[in-house]
Amino acid sequence: MEKTLLSLWKVVPTGYIKQTQIADALNLSSKQTTRLLRKWSDEGWFTYTSGRGRGNTSHLQWHRNVEEVYEQQIIQLIAEQPAESASHYLLLDWSPAVRHRLMHLFRSHFGYSQNNASEVDKLIIPRKYALLTLHPMKAADIQSANMAANVYNRLVSVDDAGNVSPELAHSWDLTDHRLQLYLRKEVQFHDGTFLTSENVIDCLNRLRLDGSYADLWKPITKINALSPYVLELSFPAGCSYCLQMLGMINASIYKETTDQIIGTGGFYVAHNDELKTTLKAFSEYFKERPLLDIVEFIQVPEDFDFTYRSSANEASEETFQVESDSGFGVVIMNAFRDSPISRQEVRDYVHYAIAKHRHTIGQFHPRALPNHHGCLAGQKQSYTVPQMDRPVLDQPLVIKAANYTNGATRWLKEALESEGIAVEIQWLSFQDKLLDITKDQTADLFIHGEVFEMNQEFSFFYFLSNGYSPMTAIMKSQPQFDRYLPLYAETPFEEWTALNLEVERNLLEASIMVPLYYEKRQIPFSIDLMNISISHFGYVDFSKLWVRPVCEE
């Protein structure tokens, strides 16, 4: 199946047309167009009669309906082959009716199934966006981080309330200046080798020396092994958050070989490419083995129905909804840029315009609920910018945005322009936005979506200080905010709520960070999926998920 031929069928009907028009429609060179027209004509798709002389009109007579032929081929492929064999063909430019039919049929590949002969329990899940990385230290997006959560372990785990519990470390001794960690014995990596303190030290040293995490790890001056299963972190000036920091996804413990990264988690990566990622249960897992044997993630179009289904429940397709936190959105103003945005009165006016129109955000971003009260759930603090005159601006304000904030960005543009502020938009892909972390930013405004990984108190601090956040350069460039970051290391973790609220309040008053929306998502699950729990970043914990099998009497 050829994407270009389907495009030709959709845009060029039977009739007279110039070859240059065909080339333009297909975005091809004249030479490429001539070659393809000859090839498709020889295959019997159409008869093409070239016009004599330069610029003369040619004639194309279709003999076969390309979309109908391709649809039948896809139907056969879906019926006979694994899901990934057909998944990328769903990305072609189908007509709405054909697309709907193929999507409905393709769903039969997804959900839970059990091979009665081998008793293998398998869950196949649609994946709307390509997996960017399997390296936990580079997992800056929530999809990569969720994958890392299933493949790797941390030394400790941290719950929503900030409570720390053992994971790879079974216990620890903590003082004001050091942390001794005692590792579990005979924890196996996926290649069968055993975890030692040297593996842990290697991972943590890479992390603390990495530019994106160096500020966060700055209080840690030394990490050394006291024995094969005991290690010590030293922080002479104090580090109140050292345990919480060790529970983050980027602090996962792994071992790198020449061709792969190996973890200790409940699943190991059996296959990974742009179309499919396969996780298999690790039978030697030191904790409770996952109940599922295989979890597969198959690439699908963005508008695919994302329901966790069970093949045992195909007839009724009855589902129930589980609410998951999708985080919040903020407008960040680049206060240190040499442009009008560095002036307080300009930022205040933008703040005023945002607050005035914020209640309409749902018209552009349907899942967004206007947030008038700050980013910290349960800690409302409103800040009202008084009505003010528009300041003089001699140039447009530049908004830098990624495709995943498309709706919110269009809303912001319309809101600012309605208040007399000219704007320009710099669009970035999702991946480019993640990598756009240089200090020399070329934009005045950012719309940033954030999902807290775990405990809110630590996650807010991490949002301010990690190298992948647009807040980091701003915090370090403004003396009144740069002083806060060392305070977190000195302040007992139990007192961070007050510190976070103080920082957030000052960011609001300086019109640097303006709350825009918060977001919840309802995830539909087939009714026979059991033990559903939400893990990191609002994703399902696959290590606990199972389906009650249908037993024949």
pLDDT in tens, 233-270: 999 999 999 999 999 999 999 999 888 899 999 999 99
| Structure token digits, residue 389 | 């005159």
Look at residues 64, 83, 101 and tell me which one is the last residue of a structural domain. 64
- Indicate if the alpha-carbon torsion angle 428, 431, 432, 438 is positive or negative: positive
Q: Give the pLDDT mean for 540-546.
A: 76
The residues pairing with 515 across neighbouring beta strands, listed in sequence order, are: 330
pLDDT in the model for residue 523: 57
Q: CATH number of the domain that 307 lies in?
A: 3.40.190
pLDDT in the model for residue 358: 95
Q: Is the pLDDT of residue 403 over 50?
A: yes
**Residues of the domain holding 294:** 110-135+269-318+527-548
Which of the 8 DSSP states describes residue 524?
E
Q: Give the pLDDT mean for 383-408.
A: 88
Runs of H (alpha helix) within 273-393: 344-357
Which pLDDT band holds residue 539 (cuts at 50, 70, 90)?
Answer: low
Q: Is the pLDDT of residue 69 over 90?
A: yes
- Indicate if the alpha-carbon torsion angle 395, 399, 400, 406 is positive or negative: negative
Which pLDDT band holds residue 82 (cuts at 50, 70, 90)?
Answer: confident
Q: Give the pLDDT mean for 495-519.
A: 92
Please check whether residues 355 and 496 belong to one and the same domain. Answer: yes
Q: Is the pLDDT of residue 321 over 80?
A: no
User: How many domains does the structure of the chain reveal?
Assistant: 4
528 neighbors 310 (Cβ within 8 angstroms): yes
Please check whether residues 116 and 214 belong to one and the same domain. Answer: no
Q: Is the pLDDT of residue 165 over 90?
A: yes
% of the chain exceeding 90 in pLDDT: 50
Q: Is the pLDDT of residue 318 over 60?
A: no
Q: What is the pLDDT of residues 516-531, one digit of tens each?
A: 998 765 555 655 667 7
pLDDT in the model for residue 549: 62
Q: Which of 20-34, 359-373, 462-476 has the lowest mean pLDDT?
A: 462-476
User: Residue 74: inside a domain, yes or no?
Assistant: no
pLDDT in the model for residue 9: 94
User: Residue 439: inside a domain, yes or no?
Assistant: yes
pLDDT in the model for residue 380: 80
| Structure token digits, residue 406 | 């498309």
Query: For residue 537, with 0-12 CB atoms within 10 Å meaning exposed, 13-18 middle and 19 or more buried, which class applies?
Result: buried
Please check whether residues 218 and 297 belong to one and the same domain. Answer: no
Residues 6+ apart with CB under 8 A from 464: 471, 472, 475, 484, 485, 503
pLDDT in the model for residue 415: 96
Please check whether residues 440 and 373 belong to one and the same domain. Answer: yes
Give dist(CA 360, CA 378) in Å, integer: 23
Please check whether residues 299 and 278 belong to one and the same domain. Answer: yes
Q: Give the pLDDT mean for 63-73.
A: 94
| Among the listed residues 473, 470, 456, 461, the one whose alpha carbon sits nearest the alpha carbon of residue 518 | 456
User: Residue 90: inside a domain, yes or no?
Assistant: no
